[in-house]
Structure 1
Amino acid sequence: MAAIDYIVCEKSDVFIPSHGGNMGHALQGQRAYAGHKKYITPNKRQMLPYFMNASLPESDFNRIVKELHRESLGQPELRTSKGGKDVTKHPVPECMCSDRQQQQQQQQQ
């Protein structure tokens, strides 16, 4: 069942991990390697006050949640240092991009 879950999550348009486990990290890394397919890393601490506010209109809630996650949509991240980054979650995209560009240039020639 875990293999089916992995395949479905990897092939989906958007991936939102429910927690920071190994499978979520592996999928995040796989999606980055595959061209930074969209994933959203939810910020539960920032979202909690809005979940607790039952009087907040749905349109406002949607706008707030989108704004909170604007910077966490699977964009390429350049690493300034290799410390503190899990290689399964952050597979050094700057190196992959350089390799892909070089390969494309060689194929065009």
Structure 2
Amino acid sequence: MTMTPQKLVERLRSQGGRYIALHLRYEKDMLSFTGCTYGLTEAESEELRIMRENTNHWKVKKINSTEQRVGGFCPLTPKEMGIFLESLGYPPITTIYIASGEIYGGEARLSELKSRFPNIISKEALATAEELEPFANHGSQTAALDYIISIESNVFVPSHSGNMARAVEGHRRFLGHRRTINPDRKGLVELFDKLESGKLKLGSSFSRLVQEMHKNRQGAPRKRNGPLPGIKGRARLRTEESFYENPFPECICRSKKAF
């Protein structure tokens, strides 16, 4: 019998009922494309630089990694996502499904998230090799699995605002504004840097700062943001929030209870 995304959702639910879908954009190509090397070794940073320079269709070749991170343009690391979810109040027993490709650095880097949330589950753990074999070497089909599992999750959290993350958020809004927590990456980086420098410490005070920062970033109903004033032409369109990210109010005609 063919394996379906719904079967994977059922298996996830059987292991604990509720689950978070974490779209962890910490793959090699994403880090190379964005030029984000925070927390990586010199050898890893160099590998990403070479990949970016040798990828012809990527227009930007030289990127200041520090400026990218401070500006909030980098995917949060697995460690940072662990601190973030912990600070929001999720307990260690929370089931977290990792919706992503291969994590750069493998299990060693993912261990920084698992140390806080041991119940981490991937599609490889939910399905047999035989069930996943038809999806091998078909990136779009594998992404579709993650997409549907993310749609059905109790909470969806993207570590970076890429196309899939925006589409999942819009779909979840259409289904009744299911909880989607969008990390304020720029604000969080400021907090994480203060942790690293010793100006802040993990605990209740830190958690309150994170929770206050995200009280209005959890998928509650709101009208789609229009373009910034004073900008014309194609640049004006680029500043407008995507319809696929937030179809409210055009495609949400009645009030639905959030999931």
TM > 0.5 fold call? yes
Q: C-alpha root-mean-square deviation of aligned residues, in Å?
A: 2.0
| Other-structure match for 1:7 | 148
Q: Number of aligned pairs?
A: 99
- 3-state DSSP of counterpart to 2:254: helix
| Other-structure match for 1:25 | 166
CA–CA distance in structure 1, aligned partners of residues 159 and 217 of structure 2: 14
Q: Decide which structure has greater helix share.
A: 1
CA–CA distance in structure 2, aligned partners of residues 77 and 64 of structure 1: 23
CA–CA distance in structure 2, aligned partners of residues 43 and 100 of structure 1: 29
Shift of 1:95: 3.1
The 1:96–1:88 alpha-carbon spacing in structure 2 relative to 1, beyond 3 Å, is closer
CA–CA distance in structure 2, aligned partners of residues 8 and 58 of structure 1: 32
Percent identity for Structure 1 against Structure 2 = 33
CA–CA distance in structure 1, aligned partners of residues 203 and 153 of structure 2: 25
Shift of 1:3: 1.5
Match of 1:42 among 183, 191, 200: 183
Query: Structure 1: which amino acid aligns with 2:178?
Result: K
CA–CA distance in structure 1, aligned partners of residues 177 and 188 of structure 2: 24
- 3-state DSSP of counterpart to 1:94: coil
**Contact 2:224-2:243 at 8 Å conserved across structures:** no
CA–CA distance in structure 2, aligned partners of residues 80 and 3 of structure 1: 27
Q: Decide which structure has greater strand share.
A: 2
CA–CA distance in structure 2, aligned partners of residues 80 and 48 of structure 1: 24
Larger Rg: 2
Which range moves more in the overlay, 4-13 or 75-84? 75-84
| Other-structure match for 2:254 | 100
| Other-structure match for 1:90 | 246
Higher relative contact order (CA 8 A, sep 6+): 1
Which structure 1 residue ranges, 5 or more long, are not aligned? 102-109
TM-score by length of 1: 0.78
Shift of 1:96: 3.6
The 1:48–1:95 alpha-carbon spacing in structure 2 relative to 1, beyond 3 Å, is same
Q: Deviations over 1:49-96 (max 9, x none)?
A: 2212144132222211111001111011124747612111011x2234
**Contact 2:173-2:219 at 8 Å conserved across structures:** yes
TM-score by length of 2: 0.35
CA–CA distance in structure 1, aligned partners of residues 213 and 157 of structure 2: 14
Query: Structure 2: which amino acid aligns with 1:100?
Result: R
- 3-state DSSP of counterpart to 1:90: coil
Which structure 2 residue ranges, 5 or more long, are not aligned? 1-141, 228-236
